[in-house]
Amino acid sequence: MGVVNVTPDSFSDGGEYLDAGDAIAHALTLVAEGADILDVGGESTRPGAEPVSGEEELRRVLPVLEGIAATDWISTPPQVSIDTSKAAVARAAIAAGASIVNDVSALRADPGMVGVVAESGVDCCLMHMLGEPRTMQREGGPQYKDVVDDVKAFLEERLSFAVSAGIPEQRIVLDPGIGFGKTLEHNLVLLARLDELTSLGCPLLVGTSRKSFLGRLIADGAGEREPVSPEERLPGTIATNVLAYERGASLFRVHDVGPVSAALTVAAATLGSWPTTRGMARTQTS
Protein backbone atom coordinates (compact mmCIF):
# COMPACT_ATOMS: atom_id res chain seq x y z
CA MET A 1 0.00 0.00 0.00
CA GLY A 2 1.75 3.13 -1.25
CA VAL A 3 1.12 6.39 0.61
CA VAL A 4 -0.16 9.36 -1.39
CA ASN A 5 -0.45 12.26 1.07
CA VAL A 6 -2.22 15.30 -0.37
CA THR A 7 -1.62 17.34 2.76
CA PRO A 8 0.52 20.31 3.83
CA ASP A 9 1.31 18.93 7.28
CA SER A 10 1.93 15.17 7.21
CA PHE A 11 4.98 14.30 9.32
CA SER A 12 7.06 12.81 6.49
CA ASP A 13 6.11 14.33 3.15
CA GLY A 14 3.65 17.10 4.00
CA GLY A 15 3.42 19.65 1.19
CA GLU A 16 5.34 17.62 -1.38
CA TYR A 17 2.26 16.48 -3.29
CA LEU A 18 -0.32 19.20 -2.69
CA ASP A 19 -0.48 19.81 -6.43
CA ALA A 20 -2.77 17.19 -7.96
CA GLY A 21 -0.42 16.62 -10.89
CA ASP A 22 2.50 15.97 -8.57
CA ALA A 23 0.41 13.59 -6.47
CA ILE A 24 -0.75 11.64 -9.52
CA ALA A 25 2.82 11.38 -10.81
CA HIS A 26 3.91 10.14 -7.39
CA ALA A 27 1.12 7.55 -7.42
CA LEU A 28 2.29 6.27 -10.80
CA THR A 29 5.83 5.96 -9.44
CA LEU A 30 4.61 3.98 -6.44
CA VAL A 31 2.77 1.55 -8.72
CA ALA A 32 5.87 1.16 -10.91
CA GLU A 33 7.79 0.27 -7.72
CA GLY A 34 5.29 -2.44 -6.83
CA ALA A 35 2.36 -0.85 -5.00
CA ASP A 36 -0.83 -2.91 -5.26
CA ILE A 37 -2.89 -0.31 -3.41
CA LEU A 38 -2.67 3.50 -3.45
CA ASP A 39 -3.78 5.08 -0.17
CA VAL A 40 -4.85 8.67 -0.90
CA GLY A 41 -5.37 10.99 2.05
CA GLY A 42 -6.21 14.68 2.38
CA GLU A 43 -6.06 15.10 6.16
CA SER A 44 -2.97 14.50 8.27
CA THR A 45 -3.31 12.10 11.19
CA ARG A 46 0.12 12.79 12.70
CA PRO A 47 0.20 13.46 16.45
CA GLY A 48 -1.12 16.96 17.14
CA ALA A 49 -2.61 17.40 13.67
CA GLU A 50 -5.52 19.79 13.36
CA PRO A 51 -8.69 18.59 11.62
CA VAL A 52 -9.77 19.93 8.23
CA SER A 53 -13.26 20.33 6.84
CA GLY A 54 -14.80 17.76 4.56
CA GLU A 55 -14.94 20.35 1.78
CA GLU A 56 -11.20 21.00 2.02
CA GLU A 57 -10.42 17.30 2.20
CA LEU A 58 -12.43 16.68 -0.96
CA ARG A 59 -10.80 19.63 -2.72
CA ARG A 60 -7.44 17.99 -2.10
CA VAL A 61 -8.18 14.36 -2.93
CA LEU A 62 -10.83 14.32 -5.68
CA PRO A 63 -8.57 15.58 -8.51
CA VAL A 64 -6.00 12.95 -7.52
CA LEU A 65 -8.56 10.14 -7.40
CA GLU A 66 -9.97 11.21 -10.76
CA GLY A 67 -6.49 11.37 -12.26
CA ILE A 68 -5.63 7.88 -11.04
CA ALA A 69 -8.95 6.55 -12.37
CA ALA A 70 -8.27 8.12 -15.78
CA THR A 71 -4.82 6.54 -16.09
CA ASP A 72 -4.38 4.06 -18.92
CA TRP A 73 -2.69 1.27 -16.97
CA ILE A 74 -0.48 -1.05 -18.97
CA SER A 75 -0.82 -3.85 -16.42
CA THR A 76 -3.42 -4.62 -13.76
CA PRO A 77 -4.48 -1.31 -12.19
CA PRO A 78 -3.97 -0.82 -8.47
CA GLN A 79 -6.80 -0.64 -6.01
CA VAL A 80 -7.36 2.83 -4.59
CA SER A 81 -7.93 3.45 -0.90
CA ILE A 82 -9.30 6.66 0.57
CA ASP A 83 -7.75 7.52 3.92
CA THR A 84 -10.60 9.32 5.65
CA SER A 85 -12.91 9.22 8.64
CA LYS A 86 -15.66 11.31 7.01
CA ALA A 87 -18.64 9.63 5.36
CA ALA A 88 -19.12 12.38 2.79
CA VAL A 89 -15.50 12.16 1.69
CA ALA A 90 -15.67 8.37 1.50
CA ARG A 91 -18.86 8.50 -0.56
CA ALA A 92 -17.39 10.93 -3.08
CA ALA A 93 -14.11 9.01 -3.23
CA ILE A 94 -15.93 5.75 -3.94
CA ALA A 95 -17.81 7.46 -6.76
CA ALA A 96 -14.42 8.58 -8.11
CA GLY A 97 -13.04 5.03 -8.12
CA ALA A 98 -11.88 4.18 -4.59
CA SER A 99 -12.62 0.59 -3.57
CA ILE A 100 -11.26 0.71 -0.01
CA VAL A 101 -12.03 2.99 2.92
CA ASN A 102 -9.11 3.28 5.34
CA ASP A 103 -10.68 4.75 8.49
CA VAL A 104 -8.24 5.42 11.33
CA SER A 105 -11.20 5.91 13.68
CA ALA A 106 -12.54 2.39 12.96
CA LEU A 107 -15.99 3.78 12.04
CA ARG A 108 -16.29 5.86 15.23
CA ALA A 109 -15.69 9.42 14.03
CA ASP A 110 -18.69 9.73 11.70
CA PRO A 111 -21.91 7.78 12.38
CA GLY A 112 -22.64 7.73 8.66
CA MET A 113 -19.44 5.98 7.66
CA VAL A 114 -20.55 2.43 8.40
CA GLY A 115 -23.60 2.86 6.17
CA VAL A 116 -21.51 4.22 3.29
CA VAL A 117 -19.14 1.24 3.48
CA ALA A 118 -21.91 -1.33 3.87
CA GLU A 119 -24.08 0.03 1.06
CA SER A 120 -21.25 0.54 -1.42
CA GLY A 121 -19.74 -2.93 -1.01
CA VAL A 122 -16.18 -1.65 -0.73
CA ASP A 123 -13.45 -3.03 1.50
CA CYS A 124 -12.50 -1.23 4.70
CA CYS A 125 -9.64 -1.06 7.14
CA LEU A 126 -10.38 -0.60 10.84
CA MET A 127 -7.52 0.80 12.92
CA HIS A 128 -6.91 1.06 16.63
CA MET A 129 -6.21 4.55 17.95
CA LEU A 130 -6.25 5.73 21.54
CA GLY A 131 -8.02 9.10 21.48
CA GLU A 132 -7.70 11.14 18.30
CA PRO A 133 -4.76 12.73 16.46
CA ARG A 134 -4.72 15.93 18.50
CA THR A 135 -4.60 14.08 21.83
CA MET A 136 -3.27 10.56 21.21
CA GLN A 137 0.30 11.36 22.29
CA ARG A 138 -0.62 13.81 25.05
CA GLU A 139 1.71 14.56 27.94
CA GLY A 140 1.94 11.67 30.37
CA GLY A 141 1.77 9.13 27.59
CA PRO A 142 -0.87 6.57 26.58
CA GLN A 143 -1.67 3.89 29.13
CA TYR A 144 -2.67 0.24 28.65
CA LYS A 145 -3.11 -2.69 30.99
CA ASP A 146 -1.64 -4.91 28.27
CA VAL A 147 -1.28 -3.17 24.92
CA VAL A 148 -1.76 -6.30 22.81
CA ASP A 149 -4.77 -7.55 24.76
CA ASP A 150 -6.33 -4.07 24.77
CA VAL A 151 -5.79 -3.51 21.04
CA LYS A 152 -7.10 -7.00 20.27
CA ALA A 153 -10.25 -6.43 22.33
CA PHE A 154 -10.86 -3.10 20.60
CA LEU A 155 -10.42 -4.55 17.11
CA GLU A 156 -12.65 -7.50 17.97
CA GLU A 157 -15.40 -5.12 19.11
CA ARG A 158 -15.10 -2.91 15.99
CA LEU A 159 -15.10 -5.98 13.74
CA SER A 160 -18.28 -7.21 15.41
CA PHE A 161 -19.87 -3.79 15.04
CA ALA A 162 -18.98 -3.57 11.35
CA VAL A 163 -20.30 -7.05 10.56
CA SER A 164 -23.54 -6.41 12.48
CA ALA A 165 -24.01 -3.25 10.40
CA GLY A 166 -23.81 -5.17 7.12
CA ILE A 167 -20.13 -5.13 6.18
CA PRO A 168 -19.06 -8.68 5.25
CA GLU A 169 -16.16 -9.92 7.35
CA GLN A 170 -14.23 -10.92 4.24
CA ARG A 171 -14.08 -7.24 3.25
CA ILE A 172 -12.50 -6.09 6.50
CA VAL A 173 -8.83 -5.59 7.30
CA LEU A 174 -7.56 -4.77 10.78
CA ASP A 175 -4.72 -2.42 11.72
CA PRO A 176 -3.20 -2.31 15.25
CA GLY A 177 -2.35 1.36 14.75
CA ILE A 178 1.39 1.44 15.30
CA GLY A 179 2.25 4.93 16.55
CA PHE A 180 -1.35 5.97 17.15
CA GLY A 181 -1.60 6.53 20.89
CA LYS A 182 1.33 4.24 21.71
CA THR A 183 4.75 4.72 23.25
CA LEU A 184 7.90 3.36 21.67
CA GLU A 185 7.67 0.35 23.98
CA HIS A 186 4.00 -0.25 23.07
CA ASN A 187 4.90 -0.24 19.37
CA LEU A 188 7.67 -2.81 19.88
CA VAL A 189 5.45 -5.10 21.95
CA LEU A 190 2.71 -4.94 19.31
CA LEU A 191 5.17 -5.86 16.59
CA ALA A 192 6.69 -8.68 18.65
CA ARG A 193 3.27 -10.16 19.46
CA LEU A 194 1.47 -9.31 16.21
CA ASP A 195 0.71 -12.97 15.63
CA GLU A 196 -1.73 -12.85 18.56
CA LEU A 197 -4.01 -10.66 16.43
CA THR A 198 -4.26 -13.18 13.59
CA SER A 199 -6.82 -15.16 15.61
CA LEU A 200 -9.32 -12.39 14.83
CA GLY A 201 -9.56 -13.94 11.38
CA CYS A 202 -8.99 -10.83 9.24
CA PRO A 203 -5.91 -9.77 7.27
CA LEU A 204 -3.61 -7.48 9.23
CA LEU A 205 -2.25 -4.21 7.91
CA VAL A 206 0.77 -2.55 9.49
CA GLY A 207 1.89 1.05 9.07
CA THR A 208 5.34 1.68 10.56
CA SER A 209 6.75 3.64 7.64
CA ARG A 210 9.14 6.44 8.68
CA LYS A 211 7.47 6.78 12.10
CA SER A 212 9.09 8.63 14.96
CA PHE A 213 9.77 5.59 17.14
CA LEU A 214 12.05 4.29 14.37
CA GLY A 215 13.87 7.62 14.34
CA ARG A 216 14.48 7.34 18.07
CA LEU A 217 15.64 3.72 17.89
CA ILE A 218 18.06 4.37 15.04
CA ALA A 219 19.44 7.45 16.81
CA ASP A 220 19.88 5.55 20.07
CA GLY A 221 21.76 2.81 18.24
CA ALA A 222 24.11 5.39 16.74
CA GLY A 223 24.59 7.22 20.02
CA GLU A 224 22.83 10.34 18.77
CA ARG A 225 20.62 12.50 20.97
CA GLU A 226 18.02 13.59 18.40
CA PRO A 227 15.87 11.17 16.37
CA VAL A 228 17.00 10.79 12.78
CA SER A 229 14.89 12.45 10.08
CA PRO A 230 12.00 10.64 8.37
CA GLU A 231 14.12 10.20 5.24
CA GLU A 232 16.71 8.27 7.31
CA ARG A 233 14.20 5.79 8.73
CA LEU A 234 14.03 3.42 5.77
CA PRO A 235 16.19 0.70 7.41
CA GLY A 236 13.85 0.66 10.40
CA THR A 237 10.82 0.62 8.11
CA ILE A 238 12.18 -2.39 6.26
CA ALA A 239 13.05 -4.24 9.46
CA THR A 240 9.63 -3.73 11.04
CA ASN A 241 7.75 -4.74 7.89
CA VAL A 242 9.75 -7.94 7.50
CA LEU A 243 9.13 -8.76 11.16
CA ALA A 244 5.43 -8.01 10.73
CA TYR A 245 5.26 -10.27 7.67
CA GLU A 246 6.88 -13.10 9.62
CA ARG A 247 4.25 -12.60 12.35
CA GLY A 248 1.26 -12.69 10.02
CA ALA A 249 0.73 -9.26 8.44
CA SER A 250 -0.28 -9.27 4.79
CA LEU A 251 -0.66 -5.57 3.95
CA PHE A 252 2.05 -2.96 4.41
CA ARG A 253 1.41 0.79 4.23
CA VAL A 254 4.68 2.47 3.22
CA HIS A 255 6.18 5.56 1.65
CA ASP A 256 9.15 3.73 0.10
CA VAL A 257 7.45 1.00 -1.90
CA GLY A 258 10.39 -0.27 -3.94
CA PRO A 259 12.86 -1.08 -1.13
CA VAL A 260 10.18 -2.49 1.19
CA SER A 261 8.68 -4.62 -1.58
CA ALA A 262 12.12 -6.03 -2.39
CA ALA A 263 12.77 -6.83 1.26
CA LEU A 264 9.41 -8.56 1.61
CA THR A 265 10.05 -10.58 -1.55
CA VAL A 266 13.27 -11.92 -0.03
CA ALA A 267 11.55 -12.60 3.29
CA ALA A 268 8.76 -14.43 1.50
CA ALA A 269 11.22 -16.61 -0.38
CA THR A 270 12.53 -17.70 3.01
CA LEU A 271 9.31 -17.91 4.98
CA GLY A 272 6.55 -18.69 2.49
CA SER A 273 4.74 -17.66 -0.67
CA TRP A 274 4.38 -13.99 -1.53
CA PRO A 275 0.84 -13.20 -2.82
CA THR A 276 0.73 -12.76 -6.57
CA THR A 277 -2.74 -11.20 -6.75
CA ARG A 278 -3.36 -7.53 -6.29
CA GLY A 279 -5.46 -5.75 -3.75
CA MET A 280 -7.09 -6.04 -0.39
CA ALA A 281 -10.09 -8.29 -0.96
CA ARG A 282 -8.19 -10.61 -3.26
CA THR A 283 -5.34 -10.92 -0.78
CA GLN A 284 -7.80 -12.48 1.63
CA THR A 285 -8.51 -15.41 -0.67
CA SER A 286 -5.05 -15.96 -2.11
Structure confidence by residue, pLDDT tens digits, 90-123: 999 999 999 999 999 999 999 999 999 999 999 9
DSSP H or E stretch at residue 235 = helix 234-246
- Please tell me the pTM assigned to this model: 0.90
Task: Report the chain's mean pLDDT, rounded to a whole number.
Answer: 90
Closest CA to 147 of 176, 126, 127: 176
145 is catalytic: no
Examine the pLDDT at 286 and tell me if it is beyond 60.
no
* CA angle centred on 84, ends 81 and 29, rounded to 5°: 40
The pLDDT, as a whole number, for residue 103 is 97
The answer to whether the Cα torsion of 278, 88, 86, 68 is positive or negative is positive
What are the chain's domains? 2-283 (3.20.20.20)
What sign has the CA pseudo-torsion 172, 245, 227, 41?
negative
Residue 171 annotated as catalytic: no
Question: Which pLDDT score, from 0 to 100, does residue 285 have?
Answer: 36
Distance (Å, whole) CA 76 – CA 277 = 10
Considering only CA atoms, which of 168, 170, 172 is closest in space to residue 155?
Answer: 172
SS3 18: coil
Catalytic residue (choose from 46, 182, 233, 253): 253
* Cα–Cα distance measured from residue 17 to residue 210, given in angstroms and rounded to the nearest whole number: 17
Name the helix (H) or strand (E) containing 72. none
Question: In this model, does residue 139 exceed pLDDT 60?
Answer: no
Q: Are strands 100-103 and 123-127 parallel, antiparallel or unpaired?
A: parallel
Give residue 226's identity as a one-letter amino acid code. E
pLDDT value of residue 274: 60
How far is Cα 233 from Cα 254, in angstroms, rounded to an integer?
11
The catalytic residue among 86, 211, 233, 247 is 211
pLDDT for 2 beyond 50: yes
